[in-house]
Each structure stands twice: as structure tokens, then as C-alpha cells.
Structure 1
Amino acid sequence: MADLSTLARPYARAAFDYANENGAVDEWENFLFIAGAIVNDKAFRTWLENPAVTAEHKSAALVDLYDSQVAGDNDSAFKQLLGENKGSRYGNSISYPKVSPALNNFIKQLAEQERLALLPEVYEHYRHHKAVSLKQLDAYVTSAYPLTDDQRQMIQTRLAASLNASVVIHESVDPSLLAGATIKVGDKIIDDSMRGKLQQLKTQLTA
């Protein structure tokens, strides 16, 4: 049987194509992110696998949760999760609409085909399609020490110029690098860390 990622691809492609054509890319992305987080919850996943629960009930539960916890006026944990996913805290100036009829129908189709469990993978593929559409790439920077604002800006500017794309920086710290940083974009890795340079020197000396 195909893995979950492979099964999710056509659903993500269809979702992004529709959302992109109808100016609803962010709306769909927000819902898929929250729905994927809910589906990843162990208790909710067990409930989804209960054959006694109808597909209609399953899809309605997801939509109702989003409408009440995200589209509502209350400052819920789901809204905080959305804010953190976008790299900033949720603000009251941001509003999220209730689930549209088209998005509701998409979730109903997933439920009827017993594919709601794919939502986390659908979300990841959806994000990829959005990034490609916007020529946006994710760069994972691991540094020995936290980056300064100037260092972050320099890395982002240089990567954007060399890749001819908008670059989103994801940061982490690994003291074992000693100094410098490693940068991963797609399957390409740039190792400019002291640890990497010492390893290269060791390799050259023993060659």
C-alpha cells in the first residue's frame, strides 16, 4: 500500500489549485494546518477510526471545531497555534473566516473516502505547492550561537539572490558546531561550521 505522503499528494494538489484560482490560499492553508493538528491528536485519531461514527459526523466535527475555535471572536489556543505557525503571535487585527462551502465539501469528500487521517500530509504538500507558486523556499539554519539580526538578514539576502526566490529562515542552535553555521535548502547543505571545517581538514590530512 502507498504511504500516507503519496496518498495525500493528489488531494493537496486539488486543494491548492482550487484555492489558488479562487483567491483563498491562506484560508485553506489555515484550515488544513489546524485540521492536521487535530487529526494528529491520539484521542481524535482513535475516534476517527471508530466505524460506528459516520463520515458526515467526522467532517462536521472538524468544521465545527474550526468555526468555533478559530473563526469565532475568542482568543483560543488554536489561534495561538496559527500565529506561531506563521512566525508571529496571533493578533486581534487578524480575522479568520468560517469554513467556506467549497472547503467544507473538500473535507466531506476526504471523510467519505476515509482519508481524513491524511490531513497532516495534505497540509505539508499544500505548503509545498504554495511555496513553489510564490517561489518561496525554506532554509534551515543551524548555528553554534543564536543569529543576530544582521546575520539573519545577510543569510536571507544572499540566499534569495543565489536561489532567485523568497527565502524563509528557520533557526536552531547546536553548540557542538563550535562556530559558524550549516544551512539546508531542499537537499542541498552548506556547511560553514567550525566542526565541518575541522572534519574537512582531518579528511585531507588522512587522504
Structure 2
Amino acid sequence: MADDFRTTEVGGRYAQALFDLADETGALDAVRGDLASLKAAWLESADLRRLAKSPVISADDQGKGLSAIADKAKFHATTKRFLGLLAQNGRAGDLPSVITGFEARYAKKAGVVAAEVVSALPLSAAQTKSIQTALRTALGRDPELTARVDPSILGGLKVKVGSKLFDASLKTKLDQMTFALKRA
């Protein structure tokens, strides 16, 4: 699921088109909010992933499904039209890549530093604030923080800022110990 959010060449082209259109129409922030909602829905809903990725669901039906989601969520008209175009072109499965590409373009234009924190359990408000403060000190500006829960890391944290990953997860430490023991 989270691995779906890698930039691909096709997703990058669609992201650029959506970004340019949203920028020209003054809808950047609205479209960005819509895409953040779609990203959360993608991660939470197996039905949405199935709708977008299934080869047996026609592009027309994918378009209808995405349009219904956009209507229910009261998405901006630009986002709604774009989702229809994406489905019509048989690219609904590229939605995560488009979202990632759009986020990168927005961050570059707005000078936003995005940080993703992965933890084994949900973070408390105090923990989130502490991480935010530490990142602000390290980066020299406020990062836009997103948190994700991944029980497979067992404990600790993974923090990704741009292309840099700080991995202090228990799973990684155990893997490193296992590797060191095998070499001994």
C-alpha cells in the first residue's frame, strides 16, 4: 500500500499536468487537500485500491467510481475532472504516483519540507510535538509532518525527510545484529 506511493514516469507526467492546471486556476491548495484525502483513503480502503487497480473493472466504471468518491468528499472541480481523465485514460492505478509527484512539485514551489514518521504504534500528541520540534531544530524550518503506523518495525521510529531516511527502528537494529552475528 505505502509502496504504491513511488513516483513513476507516467505518474510524474500526470502530476505535472495536474499541478500546472491547479496553479493556473488558483486551486493549488484545494487540489492538494483533495489529494491528501485521497492518499489517506488509498491507504485505508482496499475497495478503493481494488477499484483503481483491477484489470476487470472498465475505465468507464473506474471513472464513475472515482467521480462518486469526489462528489461525496466534495472535491474541487479541478480534482474531479482530473480523476475522470485519469480513469478515462486507463491510469487510475497510477493515482498514488500522481499524488507523490504532485506533493513533490507543491513542496518545491512552496518551499515546504515534508517529513514522514513511521512508528510501530500511533504517536501521542506530545510525541508528535517532540518530533516536530527536533526536526525544526535540525532543518531550520517547520516540516510538514505526516505520521504512519507500521507494526512490522516492532518499535522505534523511521523518519524520512526528502530522500534521507533516519531509521531507528527495532527491526533494523535486530537485522543488523543478526547480520553481525552471521559474519562472526
* TM-score, length of structure 2 as denominator length: 0.60
Report the CA distance between 1:140 and its aligned residue: 1.6
1:159 to 123, 126, 135: 135
**What residue in structure 1 maps to residue 116 of structure 2?**
139
Q: For residues 128 and 30 of structure 1, what CA distance do their matches in structure 2 show?
A: 14
**What residue in structure 1 maps to residue 14 of structure 2?**
11
* Contact residue 39 and residue 116 of structure 1 kept, 8 A: no
SS of structure 1 residue aligned to 2:57 = helix
- Structure 2 spans left out of the alignment, 5+ residues: 1-5
Q: For residues 53 and 153 of structure 2, what CA distance do their matches in structure 1 show?
A: 38
Pick closer, same or farther for the CA change 1:59–1:44 going to 2, 3 Å: same
**What residue in structure 2 maps to residue 110 of structure 1?**
86
Pick closer, same or farther for the CA change 1:43–1:5 going to 2, 3 Å: closer
> Where is the helix percentage greater, Structure 1 or Structure 2?
2
Pick closer, same or farther for the CA change 1:59–1:163 going to 2, 3 Å: same
Report the CA distance between 1:15 and its aligned residue: 0.7
**What residue in structure 2 maps to residue 63 of structure 1?**
67
**What residue in structure 1 maps to residue 102 of structure 2?**
126
Q: How many residues align?
A: 165
Q: For residues 109 and 4 of structure 1, what CA distance do their matches in structure 2 show?
A: 19
- Aligned identity (percent) is 24
Report the CA distance between 1:190 and its aligned residue: 3.2
Amino acid in the other structure paired with 2:135: L
Pick closer, same or farther for the CA change 1:41–1:148 going to 2, 3 Å: closer
Which range moves more in the overlay, 121-130 or 33-42? 33-42
2:57 to 42, 47, 53: 47
Amino acid in the other structure paired with 1:59: G
SS of structure 2 residue aligned to 1:114 = coil
Output the aligned Cα RMSD: 4.3
* Contact residue 114 and residue 161 of structure 2 kept, 8 A: yes
Report the CA distance between 1:151 and its aligned residue: 4.0
4+ residue runs over 6 A deviation: none
Larger radius of gyration: 1
Q: For residues 48 and 168 of structure 2, what CA distance do their matches in structure 1 show?
A: 39
* Contact residue 4 and residue 118 of structure 1 kept, 8 A: no
Q: For residues 154 and 16 of structure 1, what CA distance do their matches in structure 2 show?
A: 33
